[in-house]
Amino acid sequence: MDTKKLHSLFTSSSGVSIDSRKISNDQIFFSLKGENFDGNKFALEAIKNGAKFSIVDCEEYKNINDQIIYVEDCLKALQDLSNYHRSLFDTKLIGVTGSNGKTTTKNLIYSVLNQKYKVIKTVGNLNNHIGVPISLLNIKEDVDIAIIEMGANHVGEIETLCKIAMPDIGLITNYGLAHLEGFGGFKGVIKGKTEMFDYLTQNYGHIILNNDDVLQVENCKGDLAITFGENVDSEFVFNYKKVNDVLQIENEGFKYKCNIYGDYNFSNIATSITIGKFLEMSNYDIQLGLDSFENDSNRSQIIKYATNKIYLDAYNANPTSMKAAILNFENSIKENKILVLGDMFELGSFSNREHQDIINYIENKDYIKVYLVGVNFYECITSKKNFEKYRSTKDMSNTVRLKDFKSMNILIKGSRVIGLEALISV
């Protein structure tokens, strides 16, 4: 079946699904394959559960009934469908990629632009070769702007996602030591993320460029870059200042503020302001957007816990974001400090070195206690008596209750697989 015919079926449906267990009535089920499953085997189950059609790419299911539709490749069919669907609308599309801060930046941009425009955004972390197509299919005729998060762990993936989504505006939050296993090292990270800039340059799109980030400036070849930062040569010159736990950004006499933790979020906030100003929003509306911002769970949150203050950033972690979180904590908090750090993943052969490097970085700091959680940290070396290592969050929770501390400032940072947030429910 060609893409136009498939799109005709899509417009008569209630949407798409890739999970036969969570199908809604009249959705189209795409029988995708994974390492441990074959969606074709659930095509009939999806129909029984209410699907209008099931798309399959296994000839065994080819002619079972009129609700089973055969294509050569289900994933490609989904991607082609979403690309065609996106091409039918004048919706302005903003692509967001980078090693750290993608979801926070996406949410900030959404909060700002939503004050003036009809906006949709990537839901959750649907930011890969499957999630991006699903997100694109949420575009409707009345949508002015779609904000699409794009993740990658290999060179070539951002290029593919850009060809599917066709962004008009795009940005890289930063280059960091994330997914080193897949990218093969930091040079691979730079090459992979820069594919966003390359696509926008080739297709005359606008690049939102952090002019304070030397690597971004070096890798941006486009003439349509909109620059921002504390660099005085930027199109939008900002002054960053932290007042207590509130981040404040001044531009041309107007002071924006955002109640989000961590000075590493200055550039993320500034990105949203820059896009708002580029899209002709007033300072007042931009500030309304920043006031309405709500970050996703376990990201850059400050939580009162018994008599303690918890600085929770336990959704994701890599060496760059972990060092940034620790440095911000050191600069912001002067006493009564406790660290709880969880393993970082997808580092491959770099894993032991990067975990040991984090330990070496904090060994001579003035922390009352440091808790290292996860197999990777457990295998590292430290002689510090105030450092404790645990193989898992459960092991730590069996021994340590954070609520028993008195008037402590506690940074919790780690990958979501470790589940460090469970420590504040004990």
Q: Where are the alpha helices (DSSP H) in 292-348?
A: 319-332
Q: DSSP state, 350?
A: G
| pLDDT for 61 | 87
User: Which candidate, 137, 162, 129, places its Cα nearest to that of 28?
Assistant: 137
Query: What's the distance, Cα to Cα, between the start and end of the chain in Å?
Result: 54
Identical fold between 3-72 and 301-424: no
Residue 117's pLDDT band (cuts 50, 70, 90): very high
Residue 62's pLDDT band (cuts 50, 70, 90): confident
Question: 3-72 adopts what CATH topology?
Answer: 3.40.1390
d(CA 221, CA 212): 16
- List residues bridging with 7 in a β-sheet: none
Contact 390, 310 (CB under 8 A): no
Q: Identity (one letter) of the amino acid at 328?
A: N
- Give the mean model confidence (pLDDT) for residues 272-297: 95
Question: 89-291 adopts what CATH topology?
Answer: UDP-N-acetylmuramoyl-L-alanine:D-glutamate ligase (3.40.1190)
Residue 18 has pLDDT above 70, yes or no: yes
Q: What is the CA radius of gyration of the chain?
A: 23
Task: Give tens-digit pLDDT for 70-88.
Answer: 999 999 999 999 999 999 9
Residue 106's pLDDT band (cuts 50, 70, 90): very high
Place of tokens 């009809």: 118
- Give the mean model confidence (pLDDT) for residues 109-133: 96
Task: Give tens-digit pLDDT for 196-205.
Answer: 999 999 999 9
| pLDDT for 222 | 74
Q: Identity (one letter) of the amino acid at 267?
A: S
- List residues bridging with 303 in a β-sheet: 310
- Give the mean model confidence (pLDDT) for residues 116-129: 95
Contact 221, 204 (CB under 8 A): no
Residue 159 has pLDDT above 70, yes or no: yes
Task: Give tens-digit pLDDT for 209-257.
Answer: 999 999 999 999 878 899 999 999 999 999 999 988 899 999 999 999 9
Strand order in the sheet with 68-70: 16-17, 28-30, 53-56, 68-70
Q: What percent of the chain has pLDDT over 90?
A: 92
Residue 295 has pLDDT above 80, yes or no: no
| pLDDT for 426 | 61
Pick the CATH number of 301-424 from 3.90.190.20, 3.10.20.30, 2.160.10.10, 3.40.1410.10: 3.90.190.20
The size of the chain, in residues, is 426
- Give the mean model confidence (pLDDT) for residues 35-57: 95
The torsion of the CA quartet 102, 104, 106, 108, rounded to 10 degrees, works out to -150
| pLDDT for 1 | 86
d(CA 125, CA 219): 26
Distances (CA, A) of 61 to 25, 39, 54, 321: 21, 11, 10, 46
Q: Where are the domains of the chain?
A: 3-72, 89-291, 301-424
d(CA 142, CA 117): 10
Task: Give tens-digit pLDDT for 331-376.
Answer: 999 999 999 999 999 999 999 999 999 999 999 899 999 999 999 9
The more confident residue out of 223 and 58 is 58
Residue 296 has pLDDT above 90, yes or no: no
